[in-house]
Structure 1
Amino acid sequence: MHMTDPLPLPPAVALSRRLAVASLVGLIALGLAWELWLAPLRPGGSWLVLKVVPLCLPLAGLLRNRMYTYRWVSLLVWLYFTEGVVRGASDRGLSALLAWIEVALCLVLFAACVLHVKKRLKAKT
């Protein structure tokens, strides 16, 4: 190992990082597919696809393992959770199913971010 190589992450930190990145990418993919093809509000796509833009911003920070990003994503995700619950309860058919998938991805993302921050802080002590 070279002096510039980063230290390997503890297993729990590495797992939480993979879960956070995977669930964030899942939310981005779901938002795009939902609003453009699967169940758009209008044929040909919906302006609601723009809801994906804020999710793209933290992706680089998570991939670079920036602690600050994990912290603020754990707050941002509640906006998408709320949208999922509202649309899951009010929409019908495929759109309702997609909304509940959004809720599940949000819960995984939140739990992964909290676990990541907790385990990284513990590893420093």
Structure 2
Amino acid sequence: MENTMQKYFHWGAFGSLAALIVWCVLWEMVLAPLKPGGSWLVLKAVPLLLPLYGVWKRDIYTLQWTSMMILLYFTEGVVRGWSDKGSISAWMAWGEALIVCVYFVCAVMYLRPYKKAAKKLAKELLDKVKVNTVK
């Protein structure tokens, strides 16, 4: 069922998820930590490790729930981007929001054909049930 564009979207989703993990670790440990030497905020990268294998294996369910969960990182990026004015932390925050947008678009576009197929199947089954109940 997978076509060429879906492969690109899959790799975009996986790549952006991996990039977001690295981005968060570098941000909170090296480039702009809240405290010198790093901060506990680096732990925000841990939840991103959980879906990594499922995204790699193209698990539809994993891609669905991570497309919603990752919006928390978008929110953090926008809030810290607006509040950390003029610092490298603000740039890192906007970068985080951008990476999240790439993941979200790629995940949704990868899942789109599966959603269409599921709707078509559901409609066919509903029509079949209606025909059987009329008889």
Tell me if the contact between 1:13 and 1:120 (Cα under 8 Å) persists in the aligned partners. Answer: no
On the 8 A contact 1:27/1:105 being kept in 2, the answer is yes
TM-score (norm 2): 0.83
In structure 1, the residue matched to 2:127 is: none
Residue 18 and residue 26 in structure 1: after superposition, are their counterparts in 2 closer, same or farther (change >3 A)? same
Which ranges of 4 or more aligned residues in structure 1 deviate by more than 2 Å?
119-125
Aligned residues: 118
Taking the TM superposition and a 5 Å limit, the aligned residue runs for 1:1-125 are: 9-92=2-85, 93-122=87-116
SS in 2 for 1:16: helix
CA distance in 2, matches of 1:37, 1:123: 45
Task: For 2:10, give the aligned amino acid.
Answer: R
Amino acid at match of 1:30: W
Q: Which structure carries more helix by proportion? A: 2
Higher relative contact order (CA 8 A, sep 6+): 1
Q: Which has the larger radius of gyration?
A: 2
Q: Which residue of 2 aligns with 1:3?
A: none
Q: Tell me the distance in 2 between the aligned counterparts of 1:119 and 1:113.
A: 11
Quick one: percent identity of the two aligned structures?
45
TM-score, L = length of structure 1:
0.89
- Give the root-mean-square deviation of aligned CA atoms: 1.5
Residue 120 of structure 1, CA deviation: 3.5
Runs of 5+ consecutive residues of structure 2 not aligned to the other structure: 121-135
